[in-house]
Every structure is written in structure tokens, then in C-alpha cells.
Structure 1
Amino acid sequence: MTTLASAPDTLLSTISAAVGTAALITDAAELRYYAQDVFSNGPDLLAVFRPSDTEMLARGVAAATAAGVAIVPRGGGMSYTSGYLPGEAGALLIDTGAMNRILTINEEDMTATVEAGCTWDKLQRALKPKGLRALAWGTLSGINATVGGGMSQNGVFWGAAGGTVVDAALRFEVVLADGSILSTGSDFFRPFGPDITGLFAADCGALGVKATVTLKLVREGTAFAYGSFSFPDATAYFGAMSEIAREGLATESFGFDPYLQAQRMKRESLTKDAKSLVNMMKAQGSVFKALKEGAKVVAAGRSFLDDVPFSLHLICEGRHQGAVDADMKAIEAIAVKHGGKTIENSIPKILRANPFPPVNSMVGPDGERWVPVHGFLPHSRLVEGWNRIQALFDANRAEMEAHGVAAGAMLAAVSRSTCLIEPVFFWPDALEDIHCRSLEADHLAKLNRFPANAASRAVVDRLRGEIIRIFRDLDATHLQIARAYPLKEASDPRAWAILQAVKRAVDPKGLMNPGSLGL
């Protein structure tokens, strides 16, 4: 791999000859910003390349790799596993943000094709008036997070009943390390033979740079039911969430442990956010229902979660109100069976009506740094996984308190067989440019600003590593593998050898995001 010491001006001249100087960013301050993700700072970049279309992307990749420069693709910048931070200095980072067009929406075939830099929010806004959405339609950071980034890192939240976001993909156009453009298959059926689209899904940019994505569409629901429940402990919570998931009753199912719940209620204002409230009321479908539901949210305020240990929030979505009401009634019966109690359902209503809010939650409510770690487990291992993580926190409680480190968790059902445990850390530390540029300006202005705190960060880093090892012991799987999660250790050696062979075939010089996935 070429480093900054290897005549950077000559390398830049070579690349700019292929793509033009306007497509390259070389300003030192901008390069420092692009060398950050939500958790980490990476080494110095040679430049940032912002292609305007697939052909320019291909020319730039070909010129860079021919000169021995490593390529690192970046989507919306919401990653926290060093997915777009190179292992060594001197890489060319590709920012796909200028490739953000929606190319086609095919209502007859129920597909959409977008450029990789299109955000989930932009796609959803284009599809909603047509009564459509993607099968799995993005993460909560979708106002910034891109479709291409999601397809490379994988992600889950909206549409989780249909799987993770890569399950919505039909076809990719991928620029390989030599600049050639590969189409992974059919634009209406996946797979036709071995699943080549799947091969490039969740590759964290190790195999190529996604240029366009064709996705499966489904009809947007026209009838909704919402439910929120309180549970006394984790065992009761997981028992209910798992049974509801196995029955396939909810389209969205997520919740919070006591600490994260308290943090969210500090941060979110259900009564003062007029935009959220108005959108929620509009989503109810009639003036009377809008006024009724809006009044409930205002009356509930924040107090409805004051004495709630674990909260579970669910959405049923369909075509007939009677059907979704019946599903929610069945959910309520399951919740009660596991010791749950009904609480005000403001949270799922507000979130569903405002699916991609500003990303102010990428820092704590008082300005603390924030970072998650996660694992997907089968229902049978959820309680064991939870208890082991809590035992880790208990064993490290004194050190965590001494360094101002706190942790909560988001918990969600992803399919009939799988649930997510996502511990989230908060600690006092300096914010980076990526935080300051991503947060709303008025929100940022209200936050405390802490000095750099390497000691507390080191505690968080160590505990994240311990949690990843706990998940590995339980055969958990992960999204955003990048440089954080142990794919090789979790793989059958023969499967790993096949992946290595694919890497050699598409990237023989090892210049496509080297080190990502452990390759």
C-alpha cells in the first residue's frame, strides 16, 4: 500500500488526471473530519474522492489502485467500527454522497434503483406518496445513513420483520479494484444461481465499492396499531419479546433497559417537538383521530416511563384496521402472560411517524460521548447473554463509576428466530468534528463540552472488547463487522478460505479497504 511518504503530489496528479481536481478534497481540516467515525480517529488520508456518477467512480478507483493507493469507501459516516477508517496512512477515501440520485421507481415490478449515496430518508420520502417502501427500509440514522453504506455495513431497524437492510437488495452495481463494473444479478429476482448479490452484501467495502442498488419494494401499511408495555425484569421482557416474534405479530418490536430508557427520556421531548407531534397526528388518517391521539401524547408527556424498569414498544402494520387491532390484542395477551403491563404508547407512534429524526442521539443527553456494541442471538440464549453482560458491568462497576462510564441497552426482535442485544456506553469526553457537524446546531449549543478523556475512553474500549468476547462465546452474529467483530474466528475454516479466494479474485493487490472483515 502506498503511504503519504510516497510522493503524494504525484499520486494526486495521477488520480486527478482521471477524475478532475474538483472531485478531490485535499484540505487538511476536511481530511481530518473524513478520517473520523463515531468512535475512532483514523490515520491521515491522501485525499477524499467525491465521484458524481458510476463512470467517474470507476475511473478514480482504476487510477488509484494502478498507482498502488488503497481505496476506502464511505457512506453517511454513521459507523462506529472503523469501517471506513484505513489501517494505514495514505488511502483514498471515497465519499459517495454526490451519487445520491433515485434512478428508477418501478411500481409495476415493485423495485427501485438508487445510487449508493442516496439516503434512506430521501428514498422513503420519494416512495411514501406512492404508498410504497423498501422491504427493510433503513436505520434510525437514515437522515444521514446511505443505502450503499447500509448494504455494505448491513443494518437493522425499520422493516425488521422483513430482515436486515441487505435482505431488501436485489442487485448491485459494484466497482471492483481494477475499475471494472460488476452487475451482481437480476433486477427483479434474487438469486438466480449462487447469490452473487449476497456475496457483496455486508462486505464492509472489502470486495468493491457499491455504485447503485436495486431494492425490493412492498406496499406501505394503511392500518396501524401501537402498543407499549412495562416489564419488571429482563427475563420477563425477553420472554414476551421472543414469543411475540415467534408468532410474527409485530412489524417492529424494540425496547430499552432502565438506564437507556432514562437517557432517552432526558433527550427526547414528546410534547415540545411540534414537528414530531404534527407528523404523528397526520399519520392517524383522520382529523378526529389525529386530535385524539395528539391529546394523548401531550397528556402523557414524559412521566409515563418514570417507574418503568424495561419497556417494550411494538407496531403492527397492515391493510385492515381490524386485523392489526387483533394482532395487537394478541400481543397484549402475551405481554400480560409474561408479567407485562400496558403503558402509554407515545414512543412507537412518534417514531413511526418520524422514522428518520435528526441524529442528536449520537451523543448523550448532556453531551457525553456515545458508542454501541451489539450481538444477535437466538431466543434460547438471550437471557444468558444478558446476564453475562450484566455480570461484566457489576464486576467493573467501581472503575466505571470512577471514570464516569455508564451503560444501557437497546433490545429488539429482528425475525422469528433472532433478537438483538445492543449495549450502549456513555462517558465524558471531547466531541469530534463528526459529532459537531452531524448534530443540529441548536441542540449542540445546549450540550456540555467535556475535555478529552483518554482514560475513560480506554475503559469503554476494554469493556466493548469483553462484550464482543461474550457474544463470541454464545455464537452471536453481528452487523458492521469492519474491524471490530471477529469474522474469521466465527467462520468455518473452509468458508473463510473461500472468502479469501474471492478477495484475491476481485482485489488481487489487496487495495480495497485492506483489513476490513479481517481480510
Structure 2
Amino acid sequence: MVMGHLRIRVMAHCNNDNHGKTMPTSSPENSSDNLADRLGGIVGTRHVLTDEASRAHYSRDLGYLPACDSELVVQPGTIDELRAVVGCVTGAGRSVIPRGGGMSYTGGYTPGSHRAVCIDTGRLDRIVEVNSDDRYVVVEAGCTWQALNEALKPGGLRTPFWGPFSGKYATVGGTLSQNAVSYGSGLYGTAADSVLGLQVVLADGRLVTTGAGAHSAASPFFRHFGPDMTGLFTADTGAFGIKATAVLKLIARPQVVRSYSYAFEHLDNVLDAQIEIARLQVASDCYCFDPYNNADFERKGVTFEQRLSIAGTTARRGLRGVWEATKMAMAGKKVLRGVKYSLHLTLPGHSPGVVTEHARLVDELCRKHGGIAITNTIPVAHQAGAFENLRLVMMGPDGDIWLPTHGIFPASRLPEAVRAFDMLADQARPDLDQHGIRTAYTIVTTGQEFLFEPFLYWHDEPGSVRLERIEPEFAEQWRDIPSDPARREMALSFREQIRDLFDQLGGLHLQLGRFYPYVSVIADPGLKDTVTAIKQALDPEGLMNPGSLELP
């Protein structure tokens, strides 16, 4: 089918292909009640949420950006239902707002109008196919990374990028729409780098298949079937369509995983070490903490259940695991006390000898740059407690709000970016201190590039999205923290300054949503026109997540 100048394979949506149901016809004049009834006929009335609390909850993310409450929330359970819902909603003149696990902090799924329907993809959580011979897995977009990882474990497999830190809640579709780095990124890059193909529902309900799965006689084993149409729909923040399924690469799960930590006195030294380790391509995870991050770690609570889980997972690795668990227990949370800069690494491999040699190379590099080996509590817990300790990242030790801003930089520009941020923070320190706002940052290796992510912490109302993602005892303790508009305004203003600074330095962004610029920072007029034309071809009425990517 030809859409403007874009030729893609689509499946036309038929009125009678929704499990025998007739797809409802709608018009912009339909009332909210009538639209809810039609959607209830597709997904069942209990999967159409109309109450004020639900509409507000599903319309908010972690970023405090302005947003409207959606008119309705719909939870399709099959791809056919998803297609029918999208066609029904846009046919009624409402915009479609796709939502995954709700972990966005850049307005990725926050409506800009009340005439919007939030589509919660959480029920689309099936693992469709695990092909161990051809090394791919087909998974529905609402499946969480934790669920996918657990399902692949018995077969000794995993995806190269195997989830963001929030993978207990973050969905595959949401992550691919936003793009992310975390587990596995040191060797395998971003989430989008692990994708082979997609099925995407367009604004009118049609289904697009990308990658080799679109070939008339092929399986979805290869991404580059002609032009890279898969890439078009990754990191689009849902502006071009809603992910229905994803085909991800599979690799053998490493037989040996060891973790190491080093302390550094000076920023230049830890950056030099991290950059050189990235060039070795031996660490699946490598990240640096600044002094404020190190100091905060000791103050963050860890529940008894989390301690048991981490220690048990570590000890199950045999005698070495028992020794690591013992060291962790002895060190506790004091491991970073007095440490200025810390560097944490995970080295995977398929034999002890390979990992031992890689560890020797890393140790030589760190010591060359003044690093001192310290107890490896942080990276061991990061691996053993994967996806389980979200509160330790998304909230401060006293229930403070955590809000990050990031830029991705090449090695040659990373030191400049860190120093520029330090200078900006020092200049703003009197105002930040007056409002009780603290700063910290981490630097994460992603392939040969580096994600530099400063955090802001301040005391403010946590909101329902945060509270439902943390342990009940902490949620109960922090539920009544009052709103503080003055602090929030100051924090959000400084966050915008960080974003603008990174843009001036040539930093790039993941999770663009409605916070980071895209169209406005494209210097090439031809690319800007092309992006606009693609949006017009796929979504001529501007009803698919309007406002994301700075597109209608």
C-alpha cells in the first residue's frame, strides 16, 4: 500500500475481524457515554474505566508535566481488540494515548486534551513464540521485562538488552517506544538495538508488520528486510503507532557473571577509566556514581525480604557466591561511606577463565587511573535483585521525589558535559539549597557512548504512580507528604536548564516524550520535512499521541 511517499506492508482492518464482532462506527459528535458503550462492546465493560480516579491516575507520569485527564481508559486484551479500539476511538474524533507500565517521566503518555482515550496495554502480555534455533522471541507489547526474563531463564536464553531498572513494571512496548538503557547496555546498547521486528497499530486501526516477518515466505528472524522500517517505530514515543508485538534477539545466558567496584578520588580519573573499559567491550553493565549518590546510598532502607532475596540469589552461585554474599552482609550499606566517585561493573562470560582475564584487564585500567577496589555490594545487588529495588532509584531516603534528566554523549564530549553540569549546579546552589533541592548523578556506559543522568531530589507529594510502585510499608509512611508547589516549580525550572544545557552541548536523549526536543533541534530541513511527512502519512488527523516528538 502506498501512503504518501512511504510504501509499507499493512493489514487492512475489516469490520468483521474482531472475533466475529462488528467494528463500531463513530463520529466526533458521539458522547463519552456512547463511546464507552462501544468500547465496552469490544473489550468488555470492566476493561473500560470511566471513574475520575482511574482517568487521573492513568493520565499522569513521574515528571510533573502539565496534563489533562483522559476521557476514558481502555484495556484491550488481544491485538484484534487493540485494533478495533484504536479505530473506534479515532473514528469518534478522539486522540489515542498509548500507555505501557507507566514509568515515563517525560510526558510520554500524558494527554494534552480531555478528548483523549488512554489505551493501557498491560493485558497484552503474552509471550507468543520462543525460537531457540533461530534466536528470537515474539512477545506482546504489554509484557514486562521481568516476566520475559523469567520465562527465558529455563532455556538458558535472554535478550541482549534485558530490561530497564524499572522492568518489574516497564513493558516491552513502552520501552521500545521510549527507548532506554540499563541491563546489558554496556555491551548491547539501547533497547531498540535488540529489536528485529514489530507489529504496530496505526491511527486508523490497521496493522503494520516490519522486519523479515513482513516477507511473504520468511520468519521474523532478521531486521533489515529492505529499508529499516522497524527503526522508524522505535523511540517514536508512540507518535507513529501503538506497538502490538515485538520480535527481539536472543542470546545465550552467560554461564559466569562477576561484579566489581572501585573507588576514585577525582572525576577525571573515574571518567578515563570508564571510557577505556567501554573500549574493551567486556562489561555488560558499567556505571559511575558521584559523591552525592554515594552518600545517599547508605541512607536508603532495604527491606528484610530484599536482603534475603539478594543474599539467596548470590549464594546460589556456589562457594564464590557464598563468599560474595558474606562480604555484602558484612559491608552492608556502608560500602560507599567516604567514597567520592565509585565505578561499578558486571563482567559476563561463558567460562571462568575468560571472565578472570577480563577482570584482570579492568583491574589494571582502574588502578592505572588511581582506582581502589572496594566491596562489590552495589553491582552484585544490582544483578541479583534485578527489577526488585525500584524504590532505591525512584525515591530518596526520606521519601524525596527523584526526577532525572539525561544526555547521551560520545567519549570525547563526556568530561565537558559533566563539568558544565557541575558549574551549572554550583551557580544554582544557593537557590537549590533554599528550596531543599539536592542533586546527584550517574554515568552509564551504553556501547561506546555514555548516558549522563543528573537527578534532582526534593520533598513533595509523591502521587499515585510512585506510591503503587514501592513497598507497602514505605508507601504508607510517605503517603501523606504534602504538595510543595514552590519547591516543585524551582526543581522543574532547574531541570529545564539541565536539558537546555545538554542540548547546547550536543547531547542526545532517549524517552523524548513531551519534555525533550526533537523536531525543533533538527538542523537538516530535509529530515524535518521527511519526519513531518511520515507523521502525516501514518496519522493524517493527528490523533496518535499528539504532541510527542513535537509533532501534531
The TM-score by the shorter chain falls in which range? over 0.9
Paired residue secondary structure (1:273) = helix
| CA separation of 1:382 and 1:268: change in aligned 2, threshold 3 A | farther
Native 8 Å contact 1:76 1:144 kept in 2: yes
Between 1:228-237 and 1:200-209, the stretch displaced more is 228-237
Instruction: Give the alignment partner of residue 145 of structure 2, picking from 117, 120, 135.
Output: 120
| Alignment deviations for residues 116-154 of structure 1 (CA, whole Å, 9 cap, x no partner) | 110000000011121111011110100000001111000
Please state how far the C-alpha of 1:18 moved relative to its aligned partner: 4.2
1:251 equivalent to 2:284? Answer yes
Residue identity opposite 1:308 in structure 2:
V
1:67 equivalent to 2:98? Answer no
Instruction: Give the alignment partner of residue 39 of structure 1, picking from 60, 63, 73.
Output: 63
Please state how far the C-alpha of 1:469 moved relative to its aligned partner: 1.1
Paired residue secondary structure (1:396) = helix
Instruction: Give the alignment partner of residue 136 of structure 1, picking from 156, 161, 166.
Output: 161
The aligned counterpart of 2:421 is 389
Alignment of 1:344-359 (within 5 A): 344-359=375-390
1:154 equivalent to 2:179? Answer yes
Native 8 Å contact 2:28 2:92 kept in 1: no
Alignment of 1:99-498 (within 5 A): 99-160=124-185, 161-186=187-212, 187-269=220-302, 273-282=307-316, 284=317, 286=318, 288-360=319-391, 361-416=393-448, 418-447=449-478, 449-491=480-522, 492-498=524-530
Please state how far the C-alpha of 1:356 moved relative to its aligned partner: 1.0
Residue identity opposite 1:164 in structure 2:
T
Please state how far the C-alpha of 1:6 moved relative to its aligned partner: 7.2
Instruction: Give the alignment partner of residue 53 of structure 1, picking from 78, 87, 93.
Output: 78
Paired residue secondary structure (2:129) = strand
Please state how far the C-alpha of 1:84 moved relative to its aligned partner: 0.2
Please state how far the C-alpha of 1:19 moved relative to its aligned partner: 3.9
Please state how far the C-alpha of 1:67 moved relative to its aligned partner: 1.0
1:500 equivalent to 2:532? Answer yes
The aligned counterpart of 2:47 is 23
Residue identity opposite 1:474 in structure 2:
L
Q: Measure the CA separation in 2 of the matches of 1:412 and 1:213.
A: 25
Alignment size in residue pairs = 514
Native 8 Å contact 1:3 1:88 kept in 2: no
- TM-score calculated relative to the size of structure 1: 0.96
Paired residue secondary structure (2:460) = coil
Paired residue secondary structure (2:113) = coil
Residue identity opposite 1:182 in structure 2:
V
Paired residue secondary structure (1:73) = strand
Please state how far the C-alpha of 1:225 moved relative to its aligned partner: 2.4
Residue identity opposite 1:393 in structure 2:
A
Residue identity opposite 1:135 in structure 2:
P
Please state how far the C-alpha of 1:42 moved relative to its aligned partner: 2.1
Question: Which sections of structure 2, spanning at least 5 residues, go unmatched?
Answer: 1-25, 213-219
- TM-score calculated relative to the size of structure 2: 0.90
Q: Measure the CA separation in 2 of the matches of 1:369 and 1:153.
A: 22
Q: Measure the CA separation in 2 of the matches of 1:446 and 1:279.
A: 29
Native 8 Å contact 2:258 2:347 kept in 1: yes
Between 1:2-11 and 1:454-463, the stretch displaced more is 2-11
Question: Which sections of structure 1, spanning at least 5 residues, go unmatched?
Answer: none
Please state how far the C-alpha of 1:325 moved relative to its aligned partner: 1.0
Please state how far the C-alpha of 1:79 moved relative to its aligned partner: 0.6
| Alignment deviations for residues 416-450 of structure 1 (CA, whole Å, 9 cap, x no partner) | 2x111100111011111111211110222344843
Native 8 Å contact 2:39 2:74 kept in 1: no
Native 8 Å contact 1:269 1:302 kept in 2: no
